[in-house]
């Protein structure tokens, strides 16, 4: 204490004195720091609490501080007289300490919020799952070539073979669709579910990460139609990308949906025209950007989940979080690996 406190008072007083321009403020400053009941005065009063040996030093420093502050006061008073009311408005500001959520966290939050507007609830599902939930129950029987598309990682047991249990091999889930049958097995209908989770694929490169995120939507109710799928994706796309953005469904194929679609959105750069200043738009294909896959839940998947396909139907979609994220303008990150290097220069931009 003691000397340190004095030095601190000096520091704080000088800081508080910055930018004081008018006479009244100067007076207030004087009262706060140098007045009879001012902070310096109070601090100096505590000399009584020091030991005898400490007092000389304390007194010396105290006087120095007093001189410094009094000098400052004189300067302030004279500057007030000469530049009364003039503040250097061009002086730069001082930012408060701002923290940063990672772009992916922000995106996940936004996606979750948009779907919660439609009554979708988010639940948690394992990142390491049984083959049954990742493939078999999704209409992909063992040894079916469709599984090759997913470039799956398997978990090793201590003999170096693949861990296998009653529900098949243990895999790192390559898509968030392992949520579908798990959710149906809870036995509650209707279902409006969002699963946002880490997914894993054996791939690598500037546009592919082995660990990334997907968000999956599942809606199961009576009389759900393709028109409803369009309604839901249109809603999301407009909320996330903007009102002017169009969507387009094209035929595709997934084993766990029928019909299956690929969803495009109109390019945010060339606004769907396909051209930018006379040249071809480099980002999109003819004005469209591929967002991800979607479809009507296959009756076999409903059956696997114990849901009667004669009574219920469902829509589903699964899209990459990172992919969706960098499709927004202002976030055109060309090498996706930059996202997770955690360079502060990157993180602090968001």
Of 165, 242, 244, 306, the one binding other proteins (CB under 8 A) is 165
> What minimum distance in Å lies between the beta carbon of 81 and other proteins?
37
Pick 18 or 227: Cβ nearer other proteins: 227
> What minimum distance in Å lies between the beta carbon of 234 and other proteins?
5
> What minimum distance in Å lies between the beta carbon of 90 and other proteins?
27
> For residue 174, which of 320, 339, 337 has the smallest C-alpha distance?
320
Segment contacting other proteins by CB under 8 A, of 16-24, 64-72, 154-162, 324-332? 154-162
Is 57 a residue that touches other proteins (CB under 8 A)? yes
* Cα within 13 Å of Cα(261), Cβ side: 22
Is 55 a residue that touches other proteins (CB under 8 A)? no
Pairing of strands 247-254, 257-266: antiparallel
> For residue 233, which of 320, 280, 293, 277 has the smallest C-alpha distance?
293
Of 140, 184, 219, 325, the one binding other proteins (CB under 8 A) is 219
> What minimum distance in Å lies between the beta carbon of 145 and other proteins?
6
Of 92, 93, 223, 279, the one binding other proteins (CB under 8 A) is 223
Is 104 a residue that touches other proteins (CB under 8 A)? yes
Beta-bridge partners for 218: 193, 316
User: Among all chains, which residue has been given the structure tokens 């394992």?
Assistant: 126
User: Among all chains, which residue has been given the structure tokens 């996706």?
Assistant: 336
Binding positions for other proteins, 228-257, rule CB under 8 A: 228, 230-232, 234-235, 248-253
> What minimum distance in Å lies between the beta carbon of 15 and other proteins?
19
What letters, b where the CB count within 10 A reaches 16 and e where it falls short, cover 131-143?
bbbbbbbbbbeee
Tell me how crowded residue 246 is: count the other CB atoms within 10 A of its CB.
16
Report phi then psi at 263, rounded to 5: -110, 130
Of 63, 116, 273, 338, the one binding other proteins (CB under 8 A) is 116
> For residue 315, which of 198, 185, 212, 177 has the smallest C-alpha distance?
177
Pick 24 or 121: Cβ nearer other proteins: 121
Residue span 172-211 as binding mask against other proteins, x where in contact by CB under 8 A, dash where not = x---------------x-xxxx----x-x-xxx----xxx
Of 77, 83, 87, 155, the one binding other proteins (CB under 8 A) is 155
Of 16, 128, 271, 283, the one binding other proteins (CB under 8 A) is 128
* CA dist., res. 227 & res. 225, Å (int): 5
Give, for 251, the enclosing helix (H) or strand (E).
strand 247-254
Helix, strand or coil for residue 238? helix
Binding positions for other proteins, 275-334, rule CB under 8 A: 285, 296, 298-299, 313, 315
> What minimum distance in Å lies between the beta carbon of 56 and other proteins?
11
Of 70, 262, 269, 276, the one binding other proteins (CB under 8 A) is 262
Give the chain's end-to-end CA distance (angstroms, integer).
41
Of 45, 85, 93, 145, the one binding other proteins (CB under 8 A) is 145
* CA dist., res. 210 & res. 328, Å (int): 22
Segment contacting other proteins by CB under 8 A, of 12-20, 22-30, 63-71, 259-267? 259-267
* CA dist., res. 158 & res. 152, Å (int): 19
> For residue 193, which of 205, 174, 179 has the smallest C-alpha distance?
179
């Amino acid at each position: 204490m003691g000397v340190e406190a004095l030095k601190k008072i000096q520091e704080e007083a000088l800081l508080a004195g910055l930018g004081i321009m008018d006479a009244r403020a100067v007076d207030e400053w004087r009262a706060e720091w140098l007045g009879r009941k001012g902070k310096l005065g109070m601090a100096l009063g505590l000399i009584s609490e020091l030991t005898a040996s400490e007092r000389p030093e304390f007194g010396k420093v105290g006087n120095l501080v007093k001189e410094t502050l009094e000098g400052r006061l004189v300067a302030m008073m004279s500057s007030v007289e000469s530049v009364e009311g003039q503040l250097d408005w061009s002086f730069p500001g001082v930012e408060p300490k701002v923290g940063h959520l990672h772009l992916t966290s922000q995106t996940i939050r936004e996606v979750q919020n948009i779907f919660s507007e439609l009554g979708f609830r988010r639940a948690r599902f394992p990142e390491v799952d049984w083959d049954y939930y990742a493939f078999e129950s999704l209409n992909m029987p063992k040894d079916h070539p469709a599984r090759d598309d997913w470039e799956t990682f398997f978990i090793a047991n201590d003999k170096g073979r693949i861990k296998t249990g009653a529900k098949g091999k243990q895999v790192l889930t390559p898509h968030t669709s392992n949520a579908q049958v798990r959710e149906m097995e809870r036995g509650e209908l209707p279902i409006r579910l969002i699963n946002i989770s880490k997914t894993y694929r054996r791939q690598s490169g500037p546009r592919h990460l082995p660990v990334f995120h997907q968000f999956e939507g599942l809606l199961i109710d009576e009389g759900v139609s393709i028109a409803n799928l369009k309604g839901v994706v249109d809603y999301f796309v407009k909320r996330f990308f903007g009102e002017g953005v169009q969507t387009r469904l094209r035929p595709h194929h997934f084993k766990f949906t029928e019909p299956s679609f690929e969803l495009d959105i109109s390019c945010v750069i060339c606004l769907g025209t396909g051209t930018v200043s006379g040249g071809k738009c480099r980002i999109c294909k003819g004005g469209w950007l591929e967002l991800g896959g979607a479809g009507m839940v296959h009756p076999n998947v409903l059956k696997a989940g114990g849901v009667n396909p004669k009574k219920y139907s469902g829509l589903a979609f699964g899209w990459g979080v990172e992919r969706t994220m960098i499709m927004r303008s202002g976030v055109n990150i060309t090498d996706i690996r930059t996202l997770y290097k955690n360079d502060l220069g990157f993180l602090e931009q968001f």
